[in-house]
Every structure is written in C-alpha cells, then in structure tokens.
C-alpha cells in the first residue's frame, strides 16, 4: 500500500487531517473549502500518490499489509499521559523531499491546555452545524472542555420537546463518526451556558437523579484511553441534565438521608486515615458534589470505604462523590476533572452502594484514581503523566533570556512532578 506523509504547507492541511469527516470524503476538499481556493496537487516521485505542491516535507514509502506488525511507543500524547505501547504497521521509506528553507511543523502536547486544544476547538465550532443538519437537529450548542482532551467530555444543550430526547441525542452522537470515542456526555436545556462550568454543575446537581438520569453503555473508546480494561473498547456515561417532563419522572420516592450533624469532614479524616483531604466547597454553591483524596491500601478499597461512609451517614444528602488519588490538588478543579476523566471507565468506576436490600442510596460514587493489579485487578499497564525531566527544565531556564519570550515563566512540569510514580513512561503496580 503506497503511503505519502506531507508535512507543513498551508496550516489548513494540518487541521483537515484531524477533522472528523465521513468515510470516503477527501480531506483536501475540506481544506480547499476552508481556505476558499483549491489545493494544487503534485505527484510523488516513487509512487502514484499526490500531495499538495506547497508542503515543506514529503516522506514517501509503503506499508505491506501482510507484514508482521511492530511494537512502538510509549509516546507523550495530547491526553497529558503517555500512550501505551502498541503494535502498528511498519512504514518503509523510499524517498524524502523538501522545499528550500523548509520548516518542520511541530507542537508540544501534554497536560491541557496546549496548542492542540485549539484544533479541537475549531472542530467543535466548524462541525456544530453539520451535526445539527445530519444527526441531531435539536442540538443548540456543543462544548468540549480542554480538560476533556477532545474525546473524554462533551457538553451539549438541546431544544427539548419530548420525553427521552436527551437519551436520543446521546445515542445519535455516539453513533456519529468519531463521536463514538466520547466517554462522558452531559445533555442539558438550551438556555444553559455550557462554558460557565459552575452554573452548569449547579444545573446538573439540581436536575439529575443519580440513579434514573444517568445512563451507561459499552462501546468503542479512543485507543489512547488507558482506563479501559481492553484496548479501544470500554464504556460511556450519559447524564441527562434537562428539565424532566412528567413521563420522565421516576415513580420511586427519593430516599431521605437526613442532615449531617457536627463537622463530618473532621470526623471522616479522624476515623478514616486513608482519606487524606476533602473538598466540599461546591456544596456551598448548591452543587451536590464532594471530592475525597484517598490513598488506597487494599483490594477494592474504595468500594469498602464508600459503603462505610454512606452507612455511617458521613455523606448525607450528597448526590455525587468523587474519589481521587492523594497526590492530586483537590482544590484545583481543572486538575481534578482532567485526571478523573482520563482515569475512569464509567461502567467499572461509577457505582452505587446498597445498604438496604433492593434500595439504593441516591448517591453516585466515582472512582477517579489510577488503577493497579494489586488494588483494582487491573491487568494493563498504567501511564505516567507527561512532565519534562530536570535537565530539560534547566536547559530551557538557561536559554530563556536568549529566546526573547518575555518575563521568565517557571516550567509547568514542576507543578505536576508530584503526579509521577516512577521514572518510566508507564508502570504496572503502585508502590
């Protein structure tokens, strides 16, 4: 199979290559549409493929589909984590050409937000109308937060007119091209501002029944999703945060959990040493979410802990409880969202605790911690977050003034080194 890799040229080529186009639709058609003139193509030297005439580099070659796949990786990726090793086709290079004074295009990916986040933002805006025209006409707006690294989180508002419409939109989007890779989808009403996260969280808190308005299903996930037990196959969660019509209201009476007395945070920290910190600041804003930083020390630790906390009334009237690792800064919500969205496989890591046979607490518990074989029966390697090593940081610091980039900024890697487990890109056990 002949292959040609084109690098550089009009920046629109780079965007078009990432665009979630339907099958058999040429990316160069989109590039020509966006730049308002056709893309001039020229033939390669060692095969019959064509590439844009104004690119900076062309790497020509071939792939033999019958050849054994080869192992590559791990690589730093846009998720903010290293991608795991994988088997991929071998690319045989037959020719490399370049323009005079060619510029090799590159970007740095890693912990969001990075430059590549704006490519995702372009897709979000450019494809909103086509999705509305072809998939779900009731969609009013769509937003993919940077912390969701494109595919992990999608926020959608709709013009709702009949019961079950939010579920219809979820399934329509999950069945539309690369939207199949989305893992967490929230659907709300048209008047909700999707980019005002605190306001949106309050809407979710007020309108969502954690049992009846949360849907789970299995399906394809991005190959970079490290939380799934199997390569490219995992689960998704859909949250219906729309105002409910009479037909959608549950006939089950909500279980009253009472009001916690005294100082539950202090009591939790004193009685459960594995809980290192608690962030319940959102409760003051009417958002029923509590975040607990936990250091796991035994198999299925969080299930055991969650059961004890709820049975002893430590988290009364809280709809959502999120567990994260003790190394996280739980006051930094962007960090918590980014890590947790990467770390959860919804069907495995979102759960309820039954304290009375057949009756569930109206509390959804989410395990946003890293997974290991020892504590979680997880059988794949787990990746580290992407940070620069000390020598790279020192090198950039020394060159800073010569680079003419303005006032000195210390390396962001220094903030995130606490999240690194060891010196490798991946690890299997948590020591």
Q: Residue 352 CB: number of other CB atoms within 10 A?
A: 16
Mean pLDDT of the chain: 93
**Residue 55 is encoded by which pair of tokens?**
């690119």
pLDDT single digits (tens) 89-128: 999 999 999 999 999 999 888 999 998 899 999 999 999 9
User: Sorting pLDDT into bands at 50, 70 and 90, what band is 430?
Assistant: low
101: region left, alpha or beta (phi > 0 left; psi from -120 to 50 alpha): left
Q: Are 376 and 368 in contact (CB under 8 A)?
A: no
**What pLDDT does residue 108 have?**
84
pLDDT tens column, 228-247: 999 999 999 999 999 999 99
pLDDT at 406 over 70: yes
Which is it for strands 57-62 and 2-7: parallel, antiparallel or unpaired? antiparallel
* Res. 259: pLDDT tops 50: no
Please state, in angstroms and rounded to a whole number, the distance separating the CA atoms of residues 158 and 274: 42
User: What integer pLDDT is reported at residue 256 of this predicted model?
Assistant: 46
Q: At what angle do helices 117-126 and 11-18 cross, to 10 degrees?
A: 70
Cα separation values, 81 from 84, 339, 377, 382, 409, Å? 9, 9, 21, 9, 23
In this structure, are residues 104 and 251 in contact, taking their beta carbons and an 8 Å threshold?
Answer: no
Can you tell me whether residue 15 is helix, strand or coil?
helix
* Catalytic, out of 54, 77, 376, 390: 77
The mean pLDDT value for 132-157 works out to 96
Picking from 425, 325, 330, 331, the residue whose alpha carbon sits closest to that of residue 385 is 425
Q: What is the mean pLDDT of residues 394-399?
A: 96
On the question of pLDDT at 262 being above 70, the answer is: no
Q: How far is CA 79 from the centre of its chain?
A: 7
Instruction: Report the distance separating Cα 185 and Cα 428, nearest Å.
Output: 29
DSSP codes, 237-296: EEEEESPPPGGGS-SSPPPP-----S-HHHHHHHH-TTEEEEE-GGGGGT--EEEEEE--
CB-based contacts of 73: which residues, under 8 Å, 6+ apart? 82, 83, 84, 85, 86
Residue 253 has a pLDDT of 45
What pLDDT does 357 receive?
A: 61
The answer to whether residue 431 scores a pLDDT higher than 90 is no
200 three-state secondary structure: helix
Instruction: Give me the mean pLDDT over the 170-180 stretch.
Output: 95
Rounded-to-integer distance, Cα 158 and Cα 114, Å: 29
Distance CA 380, CA 375 (A): 13
- 319 vs 256 pLDDT, higher one: 319
pLDDT above 70 as % of the chain: 95
**pLDDT at residue 317, rounded to an integer:** 83
Residue 385 has a pLDDT of: 97
Closest CA to 57 of 108, 13, 15, 104: 104
pLDDT at 97: 98
Q: Tokens in use for 309?
A: 């906390």
Alpha-carbon distance of 139 to 128, in angstroms, equals 8
8 A C-beta contact, residue 214 and residue 208? yes
Contact 190, 241 (CB under 8 A): no
263 is catalytic: no
Mean pLDDT over residues 263-279, rounded? Answer: 92
Q: What is the CA radius of gyration of the chain?
A: 24
Q: Where are the alpha helices (DSSP H) in 42-195?
A: 117-126, 128-134, 165-174
d(CA 97, CA 289): 56
Domains, the chain, ordered by start: 2-98 (no CATH), 117-248 (3.40.1670.10), 257-431 (3.40.1670.10)
CB atoms within 10 A of CB 18: 15
CA distances from residue 226 to 200, 340, 422 in whole angstroms, order as listed? 27, 12, 17
Give the tokens for residue 221: 């996930």
- The residue-averaged pLDDT of 334-362 equals 87
Overall average pLDDT of the 403-426 stretch? 92
How is residue 8 annotated by DSSP? S
Tell me how far apart the alpha carbons of residues 308 and 364 are, in angstroms, rounded to a whole number: 15
């Amino acid at each position: 199979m002949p292959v040609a890799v084109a690098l550089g040229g009009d920046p629109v080529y780079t965007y078009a290559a990432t665009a979630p186009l339907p099958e058999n639709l040429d990316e160069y058609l989109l590039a020509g549409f966006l730049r308002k003139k056709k893309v001039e193509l020229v033939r390669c030297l060692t095969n019959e493929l064509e590439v844009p005439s104004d690119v900076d580099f062309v790497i020509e070659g071939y792939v033999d589909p019958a050849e054994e796949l080869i192992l590559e990786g791990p690589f730093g990726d846009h998720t903010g984590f290293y991608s795991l090793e994988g088997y991929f086709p071998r690319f045989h290079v037959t020719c490399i050409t370049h323009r005079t004074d060619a510029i090799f295009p590159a970007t740095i990916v890693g912990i969001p937000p990075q430059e590549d986040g704006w490519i995702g933002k372009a897709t979000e805006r450019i494809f909103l109308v086509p999705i509305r025209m072809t998939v779900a006409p009731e969609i009013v707006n769509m937003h993919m937060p940077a912390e969701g690294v494109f595919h992990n989180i999608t926020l959608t508002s709709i013009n709702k007119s009949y019961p079950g419409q939010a579920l219809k939109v979820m399934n329509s989007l999950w069945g539309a091209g690369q939207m199949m890779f989305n893992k967490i989808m929230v659907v709300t009403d048209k008047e909700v501002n999707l980019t005002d996260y605190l306001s949106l969280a309050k809407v979710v808190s007020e309108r969502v029944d954690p049992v009846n308005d949360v849907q789970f299903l299995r399906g394809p996930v991005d190959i970079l999703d490290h939380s799934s037990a199997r390569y490219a196959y995992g689960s998704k969660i859909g949250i219906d945060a729309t105002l409910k019509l009479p037909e959608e209201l549950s006939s089950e009476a909500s279980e009253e959990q009472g009001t916690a007395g005294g100082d539950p945070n202090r009591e939790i920290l004193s009685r459960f040493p594995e809980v290192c910190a608690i962030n319940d600041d959102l409760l003051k804003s009417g958002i029923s979410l509590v975040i607990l930083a936990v250091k796991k020390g035994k198999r299925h630790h969080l299930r055991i802990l969650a059961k004890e906390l709820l049975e002893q009334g430590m988290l009364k009237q809280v709809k959502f409880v999120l567990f994260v690792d003790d190394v996280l800064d739980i006051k930094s919500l962007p960090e918590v969202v980014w890590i947790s969205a990467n770390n959860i496989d919804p069907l495995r890591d979102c759960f309820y605790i039954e304290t009375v046979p057949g009756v569930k607490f109206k509390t959804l518990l989410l395990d946003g911690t890293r997974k290991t074989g020892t504590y979680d029966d997880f059988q794949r390697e787990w990746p580290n977050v992407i940070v620069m090593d000390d020598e790279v940081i020192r090198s950039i610091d020394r060159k800073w003034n010569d680079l003419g980039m303005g006032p000195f900024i210390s390396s962001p890697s220094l903030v995130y080194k606490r999240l690194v487990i060891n010196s490798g890109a991946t690890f299997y056990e948590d020591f």
